[in-house]
Amino acid sequence: MINPYLYLLISSVLFGIGVYGILSKRNMIRMLLSAEILFNSALLALVSFTSYTKNVYGYFLVFLAVGIAAAEVGVLVSLAILLYRRRGDIDVMEVDKLKG
């Protein structure tokens, strides 16, 4: 049996990596990927809490989270595609110059 705290530790480190990624990159796709890492770390924490407390509500929360994340990714990626089509570039620092 693995110490449940280890899972939370991994989750925290993963969250740190995700935050670093989201702060340091300006490419939209890379930021999206970093956000997905954040999501994975949150999911891992949620799962380890659920597994620890054996509470059935945690399950539903995880199910909902995975489902919604899938939907959200669809929208974000298609936004990125739209941006790319308009500007030929996916640098977020340039987006504020977008007009029309």
Partner 1 sequence: MIEFNFLIPIEDTIFLFSAALLLISAVLVIELRSHVYAAFFLEMVGLANAVLFALQGLALIAIFQLVVYVGATVTFILFSVLMFKEAKPVKPRFKLLDLLIGAGIAGLLAVGAFSIYKVSPTAGKPSLDVTLPEKIVSEYGLALFLVFFTLLTTLIEALVLARREVSS
Residue 94 found at the interface with partner 1 (CB under 8 A): no
CA-to-CA separations, 8 to 3, 62, 64, 82, in angstroms, rounded: 10, 16, 21, 37
> Which residues, 6 or more positions from 100, have their beta carbon under 8 angstroms from its beta carbon?
none
Give residues 29-58 in contact with partner 1 (rule: CB under 8 A). Answer: 29-30, 32-34, 36-37, 40, 43-45, 47-48, 50-52, 54, 56
Tokens of 16: 């740190």
End-to-end CA distance of the chain: 58
What DSSP designation does 27 have? B
Q: Are 27 and 92 in contact (CB under 8 A)?
A: yes
96 vs 99, which CB is nearer to partner 1? 99
75 vs 96, which CB is nearer to partner 1? 75
**Rounded to the nearest whole angstrom, what is the least distance from the CB of residue 90 to partner 1 in the complex?**
7
**Rounded to the nearest whole angstrom, what is the least distance from the CB of residue 96 to partner 1 in the complex?**
17
Give the footprint of partner 1 on this chain (CB under 8 A). 1-21, 23-27, 29-30, 32-34, 36-37, 40, 43-45, 47-48, 50-52, 54, 56, 59-60, 62-64, 66-75, 77-82, 84-86, 90, 100
